[in-house]
């Protein structure tokens, strides 16, 4: 599948917001080195949608939706754990703190001096923020593994218990 045809490398914040630009496109997880380091499915897609607009006639904002599946190592059993991530964010790009006081609290404030921002950096940061720190299966995965191992041991060595009983009997006599 083609990736990254429709998204520019740089986001022209004020310019895009003034024109109310709507961007959508596909990336690969491997396009984001920081994400690739963490997940085990680098060839999967990241779907991106960004809608720009001006708030209070001066503050560039973007509403974004990122969708991707990530495969992480479960921190309990170390097996693969697949998570469907849907990241929704509302950013306001301000040049100084005062500017952010006029904004709703649902905006994440992004303090930025420049008029442009690398598309990659924005997407990469938002994905990183939403990856769980300690990913685990939502069931008792360790318990299942232990049960499997016990069953396996028993079937491999059906006389182990019998032997133990005999030895114990022999000791009594």
Shortest distance in whole angstroms from residue 131 CB to Zn ion: 16
Q: Does 83 bind Zn ion (CB under 5 A)?
A: no
- Minimum CB distance to Zn ion smaller for 71 or for 103: 71
Q: Does 95 bind Zn ion (CB under 5 A)?
A: no
**Do 64 and 42 form a contact (C-beta atoms < 8 A)?**
no
Shortest distance in whole angstroms from residue 76 CB to Zn ion: 4
Contact set for Zn ion, span 13-72 (CB under 5 A)? none
Q: Does 120 bind Zn ion (CB under 5 A)?
A: no
Residue 63: how many other CB atoms lie within 10 Å: 15
Among 74, 85, 103, 112, binds Zn ion (CB under 5 A): 74
Helix (H) or strand (E) holding 106: none
Both tokens assigned to 9: 């490398």
Among 18, 55, 90, 137, binds Zn ion (CB under 5 A): 137
Both tokens assigned to 152: 């396996």
| Pairing assessment for the beta strands 108-111 and 80-94 based on DSSP bridges | parallel
d(CA 50, CA 24): 6
- Minimum CB distance to Zn ion smaller for 76 or for 120: 76
Q: Which residues contact 68 (CB under 8 A, 6 or more apart)?
A: 29, 44, 45, 46, 47, 85, 127
- Minimum CB distance to Zn ion smaller for 25 or for 135: 135
Q: Does 76 bind Zn ion (CB under 5 A)?
A: yes
Q: Which residues bind Zn ion (CB under 5 A)?
A: 74, 76-77, 137, 141
């Amino acid at each position: 599948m083609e990736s990254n045809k429709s998204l520019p490398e740089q986001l022209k914040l004020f310019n895009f917001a003034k024109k109310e630009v709507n961007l959508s496109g596909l990336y690969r997880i491997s396009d984001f080195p920081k994400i690739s380091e963490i997940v085990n499915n680098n060839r999967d897609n990241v779907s991106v949608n960004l809608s720009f607009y001006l708030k209070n006639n001066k503050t560039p904002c973007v509403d974004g939706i990122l969708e991707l599946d990530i495969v992480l190592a479960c921190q309990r059993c170390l097996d693969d754990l697949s998570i469907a991530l849907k990241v929704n964010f509302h950013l306001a790009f301000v040049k100084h703190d005062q500017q952010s006081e006029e904004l709703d609290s649902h905006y994440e404030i992004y303090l930025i001096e420049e008029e442009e921002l690398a598309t990659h950096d924005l997407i990469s940061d938002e994905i990183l923020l939403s990856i769980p720190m300690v990913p685990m299966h939502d069931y008792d995965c360790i318990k299942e593994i232990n049960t499997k191992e016990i069953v396996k041991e028993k079937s491999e060595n059906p006389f182990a218990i019998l032997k133990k009983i005999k030895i114990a009997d022999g000791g009594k006599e």
